Amino acid sequence: MQIGQQIRRFFSSIAKLGRFIPNNDPVVEVVGDAPEAKPIRSFRPKKRLIIFGTLGFIIFLWPILALLTSQINDQADTNITTIAGGSHSVAITIAVMDREINKTGWVANAPIFVPAAMLNNMPNFQIGLVKAFGRFSFELEDQIGRERGSSAADPDLQIARARLQYEPTVWIFKPGTLWPTAPAEGQYRDAIAALNRYNVRLAAGNATFDARPDNLMAVLDRIALDIGAMSAELDNQIDNRRKTFGLLDLKADKIFYRVKGSSYAYLMILQGLQKDFQTVIDDRQATNLYQEMLNELRRAAVMRPLVVNNGTLSGQAFPNHLANQGFHLLRARTKMREITDILRK
């Protein structure tokens, strides 16, 4: 028995030599070099960066582009010449409107996706400007451009009058309609072309510019009435300053620059009429009075405060610019009334 057990143990120990017996030591597996896995790229952070960067660029760039666009042309010096035999007031109307449309650029009807749509002062200046020229065109057609106001209306003056009445804020699409329409600047270009044709015919002796005292009086009466309406609008806004706390009046600058635009246009027109009706003004000895009227209107037209305030009338730190503007307008209107009284005699 003992011999048999010893033989089995001998063969069992030999069998164990070919087997792996695990123990508690860590197993280290040697593996050949494997190709590195490429990291998965995430595009979301970059897309967000591009989107927010573009929006931020637009937000900061848009006001800068709007400020670069802003240009208020209130130079009152008349270096505008006309062809021999033409009307100075018509030539000034042509030159100012051409400057605003073709050189400065018409921004009163700027669409919302254009930086100029952010502007406030310049659009209102242009709106007031064209309104004044539109009213002057009535007198050209009805009075000055006819023989004693009784002959047929000049066809080019009719076109100019109609085009200058066009709403200045209309772009390609008009509010309330889905159909495309004519933009304001296109209508004003037609008016400029019509006035040019009229002035050329006038210089050639084929049109009428009746420089009589009653025609000058009619123009001054119309301008005086419009200045009265402008002064009333300023006065109404001053009276309502308590509703806006004065310094927070967001409507004050709109009214100020609209009145400024009309004042500037009338100043330019009246400077042209001074040359057109030079003989009448000299004969009635109204030259000094006429110049005083222009000086007061110039003061109202060239005012350009950094910030338009509707403060108290006696304010020192924050004056009331609407009241200052209205003061000079009323003084100019008073001078106009004095001139029309002289012409009426």
Looking at residue 24, its pLDDT comes to: 54
Residue 161 has pLDDT above 90, yes or no: yes
Residue 35 has pLDDT above 60, yes or no: no
Looking at residue 1, its pLDDT comes to: 47
Give pLDDT tens digits for 215-241: 999 999 999 999 999 999 999 988 887
Residue 40 has pLDDT above 70, yes or no: no
Q: How far apart are CA 17 and CA 334, in angstroms?
A: 130
Residue (of 89, 128, 101) closest to 227 by Cα position: 128
**Cβ(328)–Cβ(297) below 8 Å:** yes
Structure-model confidence comparison of residues 20 and 236, the more confident one: 236
Q: How confident is the model at residue 153 (pLDDT cuts 50, 70, 90)?
A: confident
Looking at residue 15, its pLDDT comes to: 52
Arithmetic mean of pLDDT over the chain: 84
Mean pLDDT for 8-13 is: 57
Of 48-52, 102-106, 221-225, 273-277, the least confident: 48-52
Residue 25 has pLDDT above 60, yes or no: no
Q: How confident is the model at residue 39 (pLDDT cuts 50, 70, 90)?
A: low
Looking at residue 117, its pLDDT comes to: 80
pTM over cut 0.85: no
Q: How far apart are CA 8 and CA 44, in angstroms?
A: 72
Q: How far apart are CA 156 and CA 162, in angstroms?
A: 10
Give pLDDT tens digits for 196-216: 999 999 999 999 999 999 999
Instruction: Give the position of tokens 């027109």.
Output: 269
Residue 245 has pLDDT above 60, yes or no: no
Q: Taking the CA atoms of 19, 22, 26 and 27 in sequence, report the sign of the dihedral they define.
A: positive
Give pLDDT tens digits for 276-286: 999 999 999 99
Q: Taking the CA atoms of 204, 102, 131 and 302 in sequence, report the sign of the dihedral they define.
A: negative
Question: Phi, psi (5° rounding) for residue 173?
Answer: -110, 130
Residue 316 has pLDDT above 70, yes or no: no
Structure-model confidence comparison of residues 13 and 189, the more confident one: 189
Report the b/e string of 172-202 with b at 16+ CB within 10 A. Answer: eebeeeeeeeebbbebbbbbbebbbbbbebb
Looking at residue 302, its pLDDT comes to: 93
Q: How confident is the model at residue 89 (pLDDT cuts 50, 70, 90)?
A: very high
Q: How far apart are CA 331 and CA 149, in angstroms?
A: 30
Looking at residue 33, its pLDDT comes to: 53
Of 53-57, 116-120, 141-145, 278-282, the least confident: 53-57
Residue 29 has pLDDT above 60, yes or no: no
Read off the DSSP letter of residue 134: H
Helix (H, G, I), strand (E, B), or coil: what is residue 136?
Answer: helix
Looking at residue 55, its pLDDT comes to: 76
